Chain A
Amino acid sequence: MSVLLQTEPNNNALVAPPSLENQPVQMHTGGGVGAYLRKVGAIADKDLRAEIRAKEVFSTMTVFSVLAVVIFGMAFDLRVAFPTSVVPGVLWAVMLFTGVLGLNRSFGAEVDRGSLAALLLAPVDRSAIYFGKLLANLFFLLATQCITLPAILVIFNVNIFQTWILVSLLLGTVGYVTVGTLFAALSASVRARESMLPILLLPVMLPVFMAGTKITGLVLDGKGLNDIQRWLGILIAYDLIFLVVAFLVFDLIWEEL
């Protein structure tokens, strides 16, 4: 990803500066799928670079998720005999609430700075902006989970590093950022977007939450693929349906900014 933005040449201004008129501009027009994917990659790369410098989204999400796990751990430690009965709910609830923090910043920061207008002015398909943002959000949420999962392991002493739990978490995260990125774009220009986004998003995420919790619980109970495949199917179907829906409707969201 990081190679997508060109690095500057290592020369300095000892030679005469180039004139504007002596610099003809050549642009690929059209460009097809390759150009589309390059723009998706450039948008995701730009978000990741900006986050590496600012450390706003990832650090907030990580601290929040670990704090949430600690609070759930303290709350259930006194009353629950078998942590495996609460860990599925804790894992997926923390994932959902943590994700909202990052999704809010995804388009909100662009609207606040006005940079979204510059992006919309460029000859870029609106859906390329969506997929670029989706990739960046996916990266932030998966990176946060790399911290959250060990925290759950330590605090609840439950091994959630099991193949089908991790697969369901990946599928659920894809579905979450697919819908979440779409709704973040919808609510970006709304004055109360911080409260509007979870109100819009969380009800739509119920199928993912239910399927994810069910799969995690079944795997922790020692069940195999036969028992969880129906729920896995729900997650896969959810991801595919909302990817297509988002691709189709995203252009309509920003008819006006």
Chain B
Amino acid sequence: MAESLISVSNLYKRYGSKNVLKGVNLDVAEGQVMALLGPNGAGKTTLMRIVAGLARPNRGDVTLGGVSLGKAGTELRRYIGLVSHLPLLYDNLSGWENLAFFARMYDMQTPEPRIEAVLHAVDLWQRRRDAVRTYSRGMLQRLSIARAILHNPPVLLLDEPDTGLDQTSSQMLHSLIRQLGASNRAILLSTHNLDRALEWADSICLLRDGKIAYQASAATLTGASLRQLYAEASAS
């Protein structure tokens, strides 16, 4: 069994009087892609934000590569790459300048070859000099993916990365996720697209009302059975 890179144990999170997460446990091993599914408000984004270190749980712990996120310093952030439904980019800078800025934030040595490689990987090399504000929604999302993988993190958190992507971009993202997942990374991916989840992920985790309602290998599910499970989660 591969080593677990992301380990979430007994996680609780409350915003005001609303309990958003109620005792979530999950493990993502290296080389594994886990799809996090659930209706709006199920707690997917909150879980992603806690694993990314952007929010603190009220109870429970997240460990990345065996190191507790709550006890680690800033250095553990080097192990995390996050793609959110927001691009998390500076729209007045060019694609290249955005990546160069984040390369400095991650203390990367001679980052130019790596920046070039990731821009090619997301097919934005030809538009690297253009201001990000001139990019389409799909291009923004692809640059956002480039930013997340720039420092080659072993843990990738993809919060609805397929939002706004056309068919070509979506296929490119799929191929990139397979390539990244195959190279000893752990990828936690949230999406509303059930077919993509089955196609892209090795395992499926269905959240309902802050709890894990169902968790299984993607190979054991069909599109119809997953839709049935999702409909039950959404209805309750």
Interface residues of A (CB under 8 A from B): 4-6, 8-9, 13, 17-31, 35, 38-39, 42, 46, 49-51, 53-54, 113-115, 117-125, 255-257
Interface residues of B (CB under 8 A from A): 52-56, 74-78, 80, 82, 84, 86-93, 96-97, 100-118, 120-121, 125-126, 128-129, 131, 147, 149-152, 179, 183
Q: Which of A21, A53, A123, A255 contacts B106 (CB 8 A)?
A: A123
Residues of chain A within 8 A (CB-CB) of B87 are 113-114
Residues of chain A within 8 A (CB-CB) of B117 are 17-20, 22-23
CB-CB nearest in chain B for A256: B55
CB-CB nearest in chain A for B151: A25
The reply to whether A122 and B108 contact each other, CB–CB distance below 8 Å, is no
CB-CB nearest in chain A for B80: A121
Q: Which of B97, B102, B105 is packed against the most chain A CB atoms within 10 Å?
A: B105
The reply to whether A117 and B108 contact each other, CB–CB distance below 8 Å, is no
Residues of chain B within 8 A (CB-CB) of A39 are 104-105
Minimal beta-carbon separation of A165 from chain B (angstroms): 35
The reply to whether A46 and B101 contact each other, CB–CB distance below 8 Å, is yes
Residues of chain B within 8 A (CB-CB) of A51 are 92
The reply to whether B108 and A123 contact each other, CB–CB distance below 8 Å, is no
Residues of chain B within 8 A (CB-CB) of A19 are 117
Complex Cα gap A50–B111 (Å): 21
The reply to whether A115 and B107 contact each other, CB–CB distance below 8 Å, is no
Residues of chain A within 8 A (CB-CB) of B108 are 25-27
The reply to whether A257 and B78 contact each other, CB–CB distance below 8 Å, is no
Residues of chain A within 8 A (CB-CB) of B116 are 9, 17-18
Q: Which of A5, A115, A120 contacts B97 (CB 8 A)?
A: A5
The reply to whether B55 and A20 contact each other, CB–CB distance below 8 Å, is no
The reply to whether B128 and A27 contact each other, CB–CB distance below 8 Å, is no
Residues of chain B within 8 A (CB-CB) of A31 are 107
Residues of chain B within 8 A (CB-CB) of A53 are 92-93, 131
Minimal beta-carbon separation of A54 from chain B (angstroms): 5
CB-CB nearest in chain A for B144: A118
The reply to whether A8 and B112 contact each other, CB–CB distance below 8 Å, is yes
The reply to whether A20 and B75 contact each other, CB–CB distance below 8 Å, is no
Residues of chain A within 8 A (CB-CB) of B86 are 113-114, 117
The reply to whether B105 and A42 contact each other, CB–CB distance below 8 Å, is yes
Residues of chain A within 8 A (CB-CB) of B52 are 121
User: If A26-B109, A42-B101 touch, does A114 touch B84 (CB 8 Å cutoff)?
Assistant: yes
Residues of chain B within 8 A (CB-CB) of A8 are 96, 100, 112, 115, 128-129
Minimal beta-carbon separation of A58 from chain B (angstroms): 13
Minimal beta-carbon separation of A162 from chain B (angstroms): 38
Residues of chain B within 8 A (CB-CB) of A120 are 54
